[in-house]
A and B are shown apart, each in its own frame.
Chain A
Amino acid sequence: MSDLNTIIFGLVLIGGAVGGAAVLTWFERRLLGIWQDRLGPNRLGPFGILQVLADMLKLLSKDDWVPPFADKVVFVFAPTAIVVAMLLGFAVVPFSPDLMIIDINIGLLFFLGMTSLAVYSVLLGGLASNNKYALLGGLRSAAQMVSYEVFMGLSLMGVVMLSGSFSLRDIVEAQSDMWFFIPQFLGLYVFLIAGIAESHRLPFDLPEAEHELTAGFHTEYGGMKFAMFMLGEYLGLMLISCMIVTLFFGGWLGPWLPPVVWFFLKVFIVICFFILLRCAIPRPRYDQLMSLGWKYMLPLALLNLLVTGAIALSMEG
């Protein structure tokens, strides 16, 4: 792709991702409605799709208020960080063999780096609010992300071993014989859970657990700044879904249909699955979350690495 095309594609991607995230808010609520035997937002526009617009208008028209007791600079900076980090993460996603912003040979690492940056946003937001609920939410988020980061990375090493590359395009192409979710089932499982935790979505939304912490780290946020946090969360959801598809479900690979369509179809299904998880599984206690991470997920990820490594070695040998 030429530079100009890349720039245009980049802009389209940003617009698409942000727009997609916005639509996702509506889509998630409708889907939750279906699974909970109710209707969900259905009043505005066809199927209620204009609810997105209404919500946006509402958030835009809200008073842009910074609490007088907050650390103002950090308070304003925090919500932007998550959006920027997540959007940057999209740069390495291979939508089709030739539709991606950049194909770097450490694409996977870049993705991991970007998702890790998101923790700053949450932590800083919590600290800057100068509010006990926000502080607790921020601290939880930091602990949660640091813990789950570890085996999130480890769980992907199996994929890297099998494909022999950190480049995401190579990884997708390495799956032309067999999608990695079959050999890397354990990896997928661990990555799935870590992914939810990274994007702190239900059932792992402890940083903003409403029942205990009011709204956690974004208690003091409103209007556009709150919208940024929400945007970041949905971008994260989409990004994780893209990565799952890329790493375990063969990316754009698939018969008959154009590769892009395949990719988005797979992403869509994964997103639906995430929403299903939110709908079905209750939030664990904080200590349960931590013990799950360190006592089960980390050993599981290591085991996966060991077995994959052994198999890879034996196959080479």
Chain B
Amino acid sequence: MLKSLRSQLTTIWTILQHSFSRCETVQYPEQKPYLAPRYRGRIVLTTDPDGDERCVACNLCAVACPVDCIALQQGTREDGRWYPEFFRINFSRCIMCGMCEEACPTNAIQLTPDFEMCEYDRQNMVYEKEHLQIDGPGKYHDYNFYRVSGLAIKGKDKGEAQNEAQPIDVKSLLP
């Protein structure tokens, strides 16, 4: 009883001391807090260094998403690239966990330090590809999936990706 009384008095004293400590919160809309580049806010789709969309519609973000708020459909472009025919994030379900970014093999999907996404109408929280796509590589400046991947696309033939030898001539017996 006495021990707990002492503990309570200590608590009260500690709290009282806080009368003189500095305020942790800031006057938000006027004073913006610093958000690190890796802050997990609004999700964007980025482009590769050459300016083409990075997303290859592999569906890994969608399957990683714990609230299943990403839906997309793959399509194949004329130049051989895979791309999302549509890419939809239902931000009213999104919990900004960043799993999609973790899962993305092409660095296409990235979380940004923007968290100010209030809407009066929930329907406006549904973002389609045109709302998500930005014109820049985001946090990862140099990565271009198709330069690494063995899939041939227009402008990058077989054997022209990183660490690839020229295509094999099947009819030759030379080693």
Spell out A's residues near B (CB within 8 Å). 34-39, 276-277, 279-281, 296
Whether the pair A39, B27 counts as a contact (CB closer than 8 A) is yes
- How far does the alpha carbon of A35 sit from the alpha carbon of B17 in the complex, in Å? 8
The answer on a CB contact under 8 Å between A35 and B16 is: yes
B22 on interface, CB distance cutoff 8 Å? yes
- Pairs A–B under 8 Å by Cβ, sample size 16: A35-B15, A37-B18, A37-B21, A37-B22, A38-B23, A38-B25, A39-B23, A39-B25, A276-B15, A277-B12, A280-B12, A280-B15, A280-B16, A281-B11, A281-B12, A296-B1
B16 close to A38 (CB less than 8 A):
no
Which of A39, A280, A296 gathers the greatest number of chain B CB atoms within 10 Å? A280
Q: Does B8 contact A (CB under 8 A)?
A: yes
User: Among the listed A34, A39, A281, which residue makes an inter-chain contact with B18, where contact means beta carbons less than 8 Å apart?
Assistant: A34
Q: Report the nearest B residue to A189, measured CB to CB.
A: B5
**Does B162 reach chain A (CB closer than 8 Å)?**
no
Q: How far is the CB of A30 from chain B (nearest CB, A)?
A: 12
Q: Could you tell me the distance in whole angstroms from the C-beta of B13 to the nearest C-beta in chain A? A: 9
- Interface residue B24 (Cβ < 8 Å from any Cβ of A): yes
Contacting pair B18 A36 (CB below 8 A): yes
Residues of A within 8 A of B22 (CB): 37
Residues in chain A near residue B25, CB distance under 8 A: 37-39
Q: Does B19 contact A (CB under 8 A)?
A: yes
The chain A residue with its CB closest to the CB of B24 is A37
Docked Cα-Cα span, A311 to B112, in Å, equals: 73
Enumerate chain A residues within 8 angstroms of B8, measured Cβ to Cβ.
280-281
Total number of A-B contacts with CB less than 8 angstroms?
34
B interface residue numbers (CB < 8 A to A): 1, 8, 11-12, 14-16, 18-19, 21-25, 27
Is the beta-carbon distance between B19 and A35 smaller than 8 angstroms? Answer: yes
A279 touches B15 (CB 8 A): yes
A89 to B137, CA, bound (A): 70
Closest chain A residue to B14, Cβ basis: A280
Find chain B residues with CB under 8 A from A296 CB. Answer: 1
CB closest residue in chain A, given B20:
A34
What CA separation (Å) do A276 and B22 show in the bound complex?
Answer: 18
Contacts of A35 in B (CB 8 A): 15-16, 18-19
- Contact residues in B for A37 (Cβ distance below 8 Å): 18, 21-25
Residue of B nearest to A278 (CB): B15
Q: How far is the CB of A21 from chain B (nearest CB, A)?
A: 23
Q: Is the CB of A276 within 8 A of B12?
A: yes
B88 to chain A, nearest CB (A): 35
Q: How far is the CA of A276 from the CA of B21 in the complex (A)?
A: 15
User: What CA separation (Å) do A281 and B14 show in the bound complex?
Assistant: 11
Q: Are B24 and A38 in contact (CB under 8 A)?
A: yes
In the bound complex, residues from chain A placing their C-beta under 8 Å from that of B12 are: 276-277, 280-281
**Residues in chain A near residue B21, CB distance under 8 A:** 37
Measured between C-beta atoms, what is the minimum distance from A191 to chain B in Å? 16
- How many angstroms from the CA of A37 to the CA of B25 in the assembled complex? 7
Contact A280 B24 (CB under 8 A): no
By beta carbon, the residue of chain A nearest B1 is A296
CA–CA, A135 and B150, complex, Å: 68
Q: How far is the CA of A296 from the CA of B5 in the complex (A)?
A: 12
Q: What is the minimal beta-carbon distance from B64 to any residue of chain A, in angstroms?
A: 32
Residues of A close to B19: CB separation below 8 A = 34-35
A289 to chain B, nearest CB (A): 14
A39 cross-chain contacts in B, Cβ below 8 A:
23, 25, 27
**Closest 3 CB pairs between A and B?**
A280-B15, A38-B25, A37-B24
A37 CA to B24 CA, complexed, in Å = 6
B24 CB contacts on chain A under 8 angstroms: 37-38
Closest beta carbon of chain B to A152's beta carbon, Å: 19
Q: Known contacts A38-B23, A281-B8; is A276 also within 8 Å of B16 by CB?
A: yes
Cα distance A39–B16 in the bound complex, in angstroms: 16
| Closest Cβ neighbor of B22 among chain A residues | A37
Residues of B close to A36: CB separation below 8 A: 18
Chain A residue at smallest Cβ distance from B19: A34
Which residues of B have CB within 8 Å of A279? Answer: 15
